[in-house]
């Protein structure tokens, strides 16, 4: 069986409604490449990892079994040698659309396996560029799922800040968003535990998100320990 054929089988295996993780493991053991092309055409860059993201994106609101398995599948891909840095394409782009707990866990998985600061910084730029693109449609944030999506994106930004606290500078997108020098920078590492905190934004005044204040508190406390404006 050729490499392309194995890649295509893995692509098909992550395209079903209920992913069989044991079958995924079997294909990986045979040499299937999660970021390998599924066609012999050198101009084709479709690959199993991006297809997995897309399948989960379609299921994001329903929290399907596939979505809940996403971090474990990505972990399995990495354990079997997947190296995202060797791809010619930005394989994190589709992940920016998965704005929920499982998207955060998947980002955390990549961070624990060497996601670079440059990739994290571009992730924030892409994610908040998409969020602010809908500034003229504030009614979108009447939906609680969309509000949770914004909060999840903010948790990811703070997670990046926690991992790269010693690298942040004023030219970086992460820095510009979370404003570490206007807060207590020494507590940034605590945000690796993203669910220890509550993120407050006033969605109900129907103003655009741009320049709205984000206030972060520890669970059970009324004291704001970090704040910044969305931009």
CA distance 100 to 91: 18
CA distance 76 to 94: 19
pLDDT of residue 42: 63
Give the CA dihedral 177, 183, 188, 193, nearest 10 degrees: -80
User: Which of 2-6, 117-121, 171-175, 204-208 bottoms out in mean pLDDT, i.e. has the lowest?
Assistant: 204-208
pLDDT of residue 84: 82
Range 95-113 average pLDDT: 94
Of 43, 44, 128, 34, nearest to 86 by C-alpha is 34
Percent of the chain scored above 90 by pLDDT?
Answer: 62
Q: Which residues contact 222 (CB under 8 A, 6 or more apart)?
A: none
Whether residue 138 is predicted with pLDDT greater than 90 in this model: the reply is no
pLDDT of residue 16: 87
Q: How many CB atoms lie within 10 A of CB 50?
A: 21
pLDDT of residue 54: 83
Confidence class of residue 39 from pLDDT cuts 50, 70 and 90? confident
Residue 187 is given by DSSP the state G
**pTM (2 d.p.):** 0.92
């Amino acid at each position: 069986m050729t490499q392309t054929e194995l890649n295509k089988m893995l692509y098909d295996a992550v395209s079903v409604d209920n992913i069989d993780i044991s079958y995924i493991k079997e294909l990986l053991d045979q040499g299937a490449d999660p970021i390998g092309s599924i066609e012999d055409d050198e101009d084709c860059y479709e690959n199993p990892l991006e297809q997995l993201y897309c399948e989960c994106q379609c299921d994001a609101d329903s929290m399907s079994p596939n979505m809940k398995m996403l971090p474990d599948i990505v972990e399995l891909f990495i354990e079997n040698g997947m190296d995202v840095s060797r791809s010619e394409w930005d394989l994190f782009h589709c992940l920016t659309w998965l704005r929920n707990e499982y998207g955060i866990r998947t980002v955390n998985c990549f961070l624990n396996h060497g996601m670079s600061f440059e990739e994290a910084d571009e992730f924030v730029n892409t994610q908040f560029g998409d969020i602010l693109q809908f500034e003229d449609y504030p009614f979108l944030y009447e939906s609680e799922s969309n509000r949770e999506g914004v909060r999840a994106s903010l948790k990811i930004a703070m997670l990046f800040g926690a991992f790269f606290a010693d690298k942040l500078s004023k030219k970086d997108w992460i820095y510009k968003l979370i404003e570490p020098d206007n807060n207590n920078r020494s507590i940034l590492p605590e945000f690796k535990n993203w669910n220890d905190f509550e993120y407050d934004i006033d969605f109900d005044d129907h103003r655009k998100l741009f320049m709205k204040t984000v206030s972060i508190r520890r669970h059970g406390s009324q004291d704001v320990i970090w704040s910044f404006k969305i931009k």
